[in-house]
Chain A
Amino acid sequence: MVMVVEKGKDSDAIWRIDALRKVLKEVHSLFVMFYGSIRAMLEKDPSGGLIRSHLYPFIMDYLSDFPVGKKLQLPSFRDCLKERGTVQMLTMGREAAIEVQSLVSVLDSCAGNSSCYSMILFHDLLVSTTLSPDDTINLFTYAVLRLSPNALSSGVNSWSYIRRGSTSSHFVSGSALTHSGPVSEQIYHSSDTSPVGNNINRVTRALQHGKWYKGKDGFLVTDIWGVDVGSLVCATPTVWLQQTEEAMYLCPYQFKSLTLILLIPVSSILNGEQGVALVKQQLLENASLKILKVEEKLSKGWGGENAYHVSGYRYLLVDGDRNISRASPPGKVTTLAKESLLALSKLRDEVDLEKSRAKRDNAGCEKDLEVSIRAKNNAWAIARITGGKELYMVLEKASETLLYASDAVEKFSNRYCNGAFSLD
């Protein structure tokens, strides 16, 4: 896959290569999760028609998440305190964690002997997963994009927006995005004209906006995957697990801010939708009380959107081994001066380079790194890498000395990272 980015005069179009690379990687991973490997599709239809008909609407739907106003806004230097392709975790107390774990064991065993996988989110944060790290990232990304309470409520808006675009076709502008709505809609409609049962030519638009809604039983349903002929219920989506290459039914359940995603092996369910419904029912019977309890415990400990804000600091913490990141809330990052962000973005570019060089030179050995640079506006942009963990930080008030800045990092490390960055 190749991504072509037009470098405009616009000052916002200052990108970090690695961030763009991650976008490409993300869309690819998501595509593979829903449709299987691209190679297999090409082998099925060497002319490429099949893959193209899938890729086009998929990528268009994916890109529709990037616009700011009418423009497509790819991750720029302003997003240097974010890390795509990582998971954001909820920090919880021991008691809540035990309750969660107790719920997880119920979820994983609710389809009898065949082992299910589960993932639990609270708001947009990951609470627990039994999936492999790669599958976790993919499903987490999808859940935050389309399934979490935030996504569901915002989805309604964007759905109506696209609808408006398609019905009133005079809404035309130069941007790529507004095209994408009607165009993909057309593809979808054209395939939709064929009988429902005939799925050969049908393209499921897995990333289509606003297609998930909450059913009466708390399970989220969508008609993206069509409607089951026999029972006239929406077909349960399926995803492919990267690790086991197994097809799984995707059953999201939502209770208040809690989203549970249950993955049931397709091979374990013989009678299709009926079987899935049975498992769902079982889940409600066995886990309802626990779900209630977990939601209560997590809400009690929930610090709100800005829970992970540390006053005085704008930071990004990445655990490369576990694919986890934590950052200052976006609202707080916007308070930073452009110069500071540009400096950090540049610093990150350099660090990325250094990292890839180290990887090339001797695989397996972790390199420790510490860089502090002073931006034009006298802010400190700091990067530290130790034992697979990365810390990026902008200190705008630390205009004094390097010692001061380094002290601030030390303090942060001791208080919020268990001293991971303060080994000296």
Chain B
Amino acid sequence: MSGKASSSSQPSIGLSGSGALSHIYIQYPPLRCSIPESRGLHYDDGTKLLIPSTSNQIFSWKTVPFNPLATSTSDSIPEGPILSIRFSLDTKLIAIQRSSSEIQFWIRETSEAFSHRCRSDSENILGFFWTDCPLCDFVVVKNSGLDLFAYDSVAKSLDLVEMRKLNVCWYVYTHESRLVLLASGMQCRTFTGFQLSSAGIVRLPKFDMAMAKPEANSKPVLAAEDVYIVTVYGRIYCLQVDRVAMLLHSYRFYRDAVVQQGSLPIYSRKIAVSVVDNVLLVHQIDAKVVILYDIFADSRAPISAPLPLQSRGFPRSYSSSSRSSGKDGECSEVNNKIDHEGIIYGDNWTFIVPDLICDVSNNFLWKIHLDLEAIAASSSETPSVLEFLQRRKLEAIKAKQLCLGIARTVILERRPVSMVSKAIDVLVSSYSLSLKTGSYFKGIKTESTSSGVAKTSVARSSTDVSTSRIDGTSIRHESTAGVDSEYPSRASTFSASESEENASSAPLRTDSRDLQLGGGKVDRVNLTGAHSSGPTDNPVFVNISEQQDSELTSPAISPDEMYKFVFAAVEEEMVGDPSYLVSIIVEFLCSTNMEKIKVHPNLYVLAIQLLARNERYAELESFVTNKILEPSKEVALQLLESGRQNIQTRKLGLEMLRQLSLHHDYVSLLVQDGRYNEALRYARKYQVTTVRPALFLQAACSSNNSQHLAAVLRFFSDFIPDFRTTSDFTTYYGILNEMNTSVAATSF
């Protein structure tokens, strides 16, 4: 595949691609967060910090951007048990759960502390998190419900804003979705959800999760580790493991409804879920394989067959020559540990949503990567592979290169036109979409302006949403029946508009700010982070091409790039009948015309060259007259060039120049053709004074007709003031006199 050829300049990819079959991988080195006397390892998904702790000190590593060589910051805190830790979103405060009833707050600047306790002893703190919801800053989940607090930075205390009384067995929360799901009931399968977004609090209707019964009388109890909140393409889903049915049920959240979306089969008692670049990974831990799903359309089919997770870049499988000598010391150190590092899906692995794996026993943090190249190579359904690649954002450059490579390959292999046409459709409509959403230009323009544009548009949409959400919260005691009655009418709306995220159906999605934080913006930070750290520090992630346009966020391919990297490139390599390529260009024009996208004139020029090479001049003519090849100066000049062999084609080129009002070129060409009379008439009509009179005079002179020469001289004498004083006039006047005398001489 030529896609591989293009990436051969990137040693890391080339090497990793040669390994065993896998679609996802973790890349050595991991982020090591081992500290002496470590007591526990925590992860705060609000600030994306990995936090190992000792009894009186905590260390924090940034995981975004993921950089294995990142250094930690440490904080000394009062000694005591640590059940969990979460930094405030501005990282000024640290909340530490000390017991089931006490949370201690540590103000980092002033090293002050204050505590928060449950009011009654019967209450148990199940967990807590910081939020950017405008109503509150801090949320405590207790077995008796939710407490929402605002932090008073002056008084250094928490003020209770609101309480939501509920029985809670356990809860799940992700900062990415801002969604907290509270489980209740005997089987813990009844859920109440709240979304605490920057737009306000939305209460979701209560819903039950499906659970198959193993026997008539036994009722399995749902556990917190069986429920995952995942965010895919800005939509929020909940995935629930049903161990009896061996199914992974999925639910999608809308503002006023929760809808079951179908189930995925599972092949392992123990599973884990990750999301990388909007691709859902279901780790079948017992089977040590992972299945990939792209839940974009309705399809629940996996992207490809289950394959193991691969670890890459370990020194033993890595040729040492390609590594810098500075890393040698580290290599030997690693070699000792390789045995336990090499265990994939070990018992000590904890999966952190969305895309991290924490090796608790070694204090390693791995980031999961998609191997786009392997995924692309594993499917022969070119259009769907391209669709998949066009949806990737994290490795947009690579996805783009792969797409270009695939496009070149299908053309070079002369696959059926219908198939290539579908593939082109995918690329063109993806580009068109990226134009509409602005993501294409986001990658091209400077970052500051693009984000400014994005913010204003986003802000508008979020205010829209917030008003409707406030409505929703004001009716706090809305009965379930009310929601139910509303539900069927909703259901029809979103089932139809599900594939495209239609705002009118008001699906509950991560709010705009979150999208920027957790989605696009992070990608950009990630890439620019790699950029600034330089190639020597970060040999694994950085390659030259990524550095050059590290701001690229969309793999969309513009028509110009299609011309440059596909058509022009292919044309050089292609042998034999060029009519196939002409057909492909027509299909491309078909797609671009459908999406109303302008095409690079060079593509038209190429089409003319191909048609002329085949001597299909009649068809070329119909291409031009029907404006399949849109008129432009480039096209006209190519027609004139190809018209050397075919006078009709040349005429078309001339005609096009005239119709484009390129007067100077038109007149010059007429003169060149010896049609100087016509040229003069035209020059007079359109006042073309830029063509030198000498050209006309020369042409008239070469006709050897003294009358013509006299006429041209006369014309310029009238047309251009002071022409009689120029050297042209004197020269040709002399020639004219000579001609007349010679004529007179011969006539004697």
Interchain CB contact under 8 A, B586 and A109: no
Interchain CB contact under 8 A, A130 and B619: yes
Interchain CB contact under 8 A, A102 and B590: yes
Mostly helix, strand, loop or mixed at chain B's interface? helix
Within 8 Å CB of B71, what residues of A? none
Within 8 Å CB of B593, what residues of A? 94-95, 98
Within 8 Å CB of B590, what residues of A? 98-99, 102
Candidate in A105, A136, A423 with the most chain B CB atoms within 10 angstroms: A105
**Distance (whole angstroms) from the CB of B653 to the closest CB of chain A:** 13
Candidate in B586, B630, B659, B682 with the most chain A CB atoms within 10 angstroms: B586
Residue of A nearest to B656 (CB): A418
Interchain CB contact under 8 A, B618 and A136: yes
Within 8 Å CB of B678, what residues of A? 368, 423
- Map CB proximity to B onto A72-111 as digits: 1 under 8 Å, 0 otherwise: 0000000000000000000010110111011001101100
Within 8 Å CB of A218, what residues of B? none
Interchain CB contact under 8 A, B618 and A92: no
Interchain CB contact under 8 A, A98 and B586: yes
Residue of B nearest to A136 (CB): B618
Interchain CB contact under 8 A, A130 and B616: yes
In the docked arrangement, what's the CA distance between A253 and B586, Å? 23
Within 8 Å CB of A132, what residues of B? 618
Interchain CB contact under 8 A, A94 and B587: no
- Map CB proximity to A onto B277-288 as digits: 1 under 8 Å, 0 otherwise: 000000000000
Interchain CB contact under 8 A, A286 and B586: no
B685 within 8 A of A: yes
- Map CB proximity to A onto B634-678 as digits: 1 under 8 Å, 0 otherwise: 000000000000001001000100110000000000000000001
Interchain CB contact under 8 A, A129 and B618: yes
Interchain CB contact under 8 A, A418 and B418: no
- Which interface class (under 10, 10 to 19, 20 to 34, 35 or more) fits B? 20 to 34
Which of B418, B627, B651 interacts with A97 by CB under 8 Å? B627
Within 8 Å CB of A131, what residues of B? 618
Interchain CB contact under 8 A, B582 and A98: no
Interface residues of A in 391-424 (CB under 8 A from B): 418-420, 423-424
**Distance (whole angstroms) from the CB of A375 to the closest CB of chain B:** 29
B622 within 8 A of A: yes
**Distance (whole angstroms) from the CB of B577 to the closest CB of chain A:** 8
**Distance (whole angstroms) from the CB of A119 to the closest CB of chain B:** 11
Within 8 Å CB of B616, what residues of A? 130
Within 8 Å CB of A321, what residues of B? 648, 651
B626 within 8 A of A: yes
In the docked arrangement, what's the CA distance between A129 and B626, Å? 13
- A423 touching B682 in the complex, CB below 8 Å, given contacts A98-B589, A98-B590, A286-B418: yes
Within 8 Å CB of B626, what residues of A? 92, 94, 97
Within 8 Å CB of A136, what residues of B? 618
Within 8 Å CB of B418, what residues of A? 106, 286
A133 within 8 A of B: yes
Interchain CB contact under 8 A, A105 and B651: no
**Distance (whole angstroms) from the CB of B289 to the closest CB of chain A:** 40
Interchain CB contact under 8 A, A94 and B681: no
Candidate in B418, B618, B621, B651 with the most chain A CB atoms within 10 angstroms: B618
In the docked arrangement, what's the CA distance between A101 and B620, Å? 11
Interchain CB contact under 8 A, B685 and A424: yes
**Distance (whole angstroms) from the CB of B666 to the closest CB of chain A:** 11
Interchain CB contact under 8 A, A418 and B655: yes
Within 8 Å CB of A197, what residues of B? none
- A108 touching B627 in the complex, CB below 8 Å, given contacts A136-B618, A423-B678: no
- Map CB proximity to A onto B669-700 as digits: 1 under 8 Å, 0 otherwise: 00000000010011001000000000000000
Which of B579, B621, B628 interacts with A105 by CB under 8 Å? B579
A312 within 8 A of B: no
B334 within 8 A of A: no
In the docked arrangement, what's the CA distance between A130 and B619, Å? 6
**Distance (whole angstroms) from the CB of B72 to the closest CB of chain A:** 60
**Distance (whole angstroms) from the CB of A422 to the closest CB of chain B:** 9
Candidate in A101, A106, A129, A418 with the most chain B CB atoms within 10 angstroms: A101
B417 within 8 A of A: yes
In the docked arrangement, what's the CA distance between A380 and B61, Å? 92
Interchain CB contact under 8 A, A418 and B659: yes
B467 within 8 A of A: no
In the docked arrangement, what's the CA distance between A286 and B590, Å? 17
In the docked arrangement, what's the CA distance between A131 and B617, Å? 10
Closest 5 A-B residue pairs measured CB to CB? A97-B626, A105-B583, A101-B586, A94-B627, A98-B590
Q: A102-B587, A418-B655 are in contact. List 15 more A-B contacts (CB 8 A).
A: A94-B627, A95-B593, A101-B628, A102-B421, A105-B583, A105-B586, A106-B418, A109-B583, A132-B618, A321-B648, A322-B621, A419-B659, A420-B655, A423-B681, A424-B685
CB-defined A-B contacts under 8 Å, sample of 9: A94-B628, A98-B593, A102-B583, A106-B417, A109-B417, A130-B619, A132-B618, A419-B659, A424-B685
Interface residues, chain B, CB within 8 Å of chain A?
Answer: 417-418, 421, 579, 582-583, 586-587, 589-590, 593, 616, 618-619, 621-623, 626-628, 630, 648, 651, 655, 658-659, 678, 681-682, 685
